[in-house]
Amino acid sequence: MEHRRLGRTDLSVPVICLGTMTWGNQNSEAEGHAQMDLALDHGLTFWDTAEMYAAPPAAETYGRTEEIIRTWFARNGRRQDIVLASKVIGNADGGFPYVRGGGARADRANILAAVEASLKRLGTDYIDLYQLHWPDRTADRFGRTIANPVAAVDEVAIEETLGVFDDLVRQGKIRHVGISNETAWGTMRYVLAAEKMGLTRIVSIQNPYSLLNRSFEMGLAEVALREDVGLLAYSPLAAGTLTGKYLDGAMPAGARRAIDGRKSRYDTPRADPAVRAYLDIARRHGLDPAQMAIAFTIARPFTTSSIIGATSLEQLRIAIGAADLVLSDDVMAELDAVHAANPNPCL
């Protein structure tokens, strides 16, 4: 599998990253172990998790995914073969009352408590890539756009957050730092803080990117390329939407939308026409639609790795196969044409 450099580090990661958030809810521990076995057999050695997983988030499953990864490590002793990423949540706007007493923030006390808890759940003494799951401030994220964002009086400054991460790098508890669900402004503030204050530099940004949401290309792509803050593209299948399984309001039993009471950001009026157009391209060119969608994200020059998730081994095999798929110029042109006609139907 092709590998790409992570930021400006000497670490390279495969172009596909194994997402884990279904383990502990949609998937059992045994199924999670089977996915890890299959991933490693195919050279997929970059895995992403978070303190708040399994998803959808709930007090009963908080941290469970990290625990399942720990039991896999304990079973086979392969921790050193994996580039492991996890995430800490920022200000949750009153949500997640079960996380640090409902006071989760991107400040020193919270980050230190979170990393120690994740290290314990994961059964390791270091995390290769530690990411802030979302900004601590009011900002566009998770499909919610804010026309006039204003600074909260008690928001944690980016410089403070990065300073804590820098201390953890120096202590050896984390190796590299990333951000997630961040804006172009926020990303540049992290870059500038590192330069001005001599702090550790962010190496990645984990944001949504798919055929249904190419908003990363507007502003963030230039930052990623010029500043070597590579995209870890999450939801390359738009949470399964690009497979066509939700067309016309379909709700397959056990699917993510069926178990998550929150409205999907990919359930929009313009989604179905775009999905049909993309499925038609795949059909005419003899491509698996899921592989085509994932391969599109990998082909972008600003992408370091595309994060895939699966609830079955067959889904995982198909997704992994996207790493070997090179889309022709004709296919790329047709994908761009659909996007031009129906841009970003799902933010």
Say if 137 falls within a structural domain: yes
Say if 314 falls within a structural domain: yes
Here the tokens at position 315 are: 């889904």
Q: What percent of the chain has pLDDT over 90?
A: 89
Say if 276 falls within a structural domain: no
Question: Catalytic residue among 53, 62, 130, 278, which?
Answer: 53
Q: Are 301 and 262 in contact (CB under 8 A)?
A: no
Mean pLDDT of the chain: 95
Say if 170 falls within a structural domain: yes
Q: How far apart are CA 178 and CA 128, in angstroms?
A: 10
Active site annotation includes 130: no
pLDDT over 80 (residue 53)? yes
pLDDT over 60 (residue 176)? yes
Q: What is the pTM of this model?
A: 0.96
Neighbours of 116 (CB within 10 A): 12
Q: Name beta bridge partners: 106.
A: none
Who's near 229: CB < 8 A, 6+ residues apart?
Answer: 7, 179, 187, 191, 202, 203, 204, 205, 223
Q: Are 89 and 96 in contact (CB under 8 A)?
A: yes
Domain that holds residue 74: 3-238+300-326
Say if 96 falls within a structural domain: yes
Number of compact structural domains in the chain:
1
CATH number for the domain spanning 48: value is: 3.20.20.100
- Angle 311-210-215 (CA atoms, 0-180°, nearest 5)? 140
Say if 261 falls within a structural domain: no
- Report helix, strand or coil for 124: coil
Tokens 């005419």 belong to which residue?
284
Give tens-digit pLDDT for 125-152: 999 999 999 998 877 667 666 655 555 5
- Report helix, strand or coil for 285: coil
Q: How far apart are CA 277 and CA 190, in angstroms?
A: 38
Q: Are 17 and 308 in contact (CB under 8 A)?
A: yes
Give tens-digit pLDDT for 226-281: 999 999 999 999 999 999 999 999 999 888 898 888 889 999 999 999 999 999 99
47 — phi, psi (to 5°)?
-125, 140
The per-residue pLDDT for 133 is 97
Say if 340 falls within a structural domain: no
Say if 306 falls within a structural domain: yes
